[in-house]
Amino acid sequence: MNHPDIHAYVHAARTAELRAAARAHRLRRAAAADRSGSGVAPVRHRVAWLLIETGLRLLRPPAVPRPAGH
Domain interval for residue 38: 3-59
Q: 49 and 22 in contact (C-beta within 8 Å)? A: yes
Q: Indicate whether this model's pTM tops 0.75.
A: no
* Confidence (pLDDT) at 66: 74
- Does any domain span residue 14? yes
Residues in CB range of 2: below 8 A, 6 or more apart: none
| Helices and strands, counts by H and E, the chain | 2, 0
Q: How confident is the model at residue 70 (pLDDT cuts 50, 70, 90)?
A: low
Q: From the CB of residue 47, how many other CB atoms can be counted at a distance below 10 Å? A: 11
Distance CA 25, CA 49 (A): 8
- Does any domain span residue 69? no
Amino acid identity at 64:
V
The predicted-structure confidence for 9-62, as pLDDT tens digits, reads as follows 888 888 999 899 988 988 888 887 766 655 556 777 888 888 988 888 888 777
Count of structural domains, the chain: 1
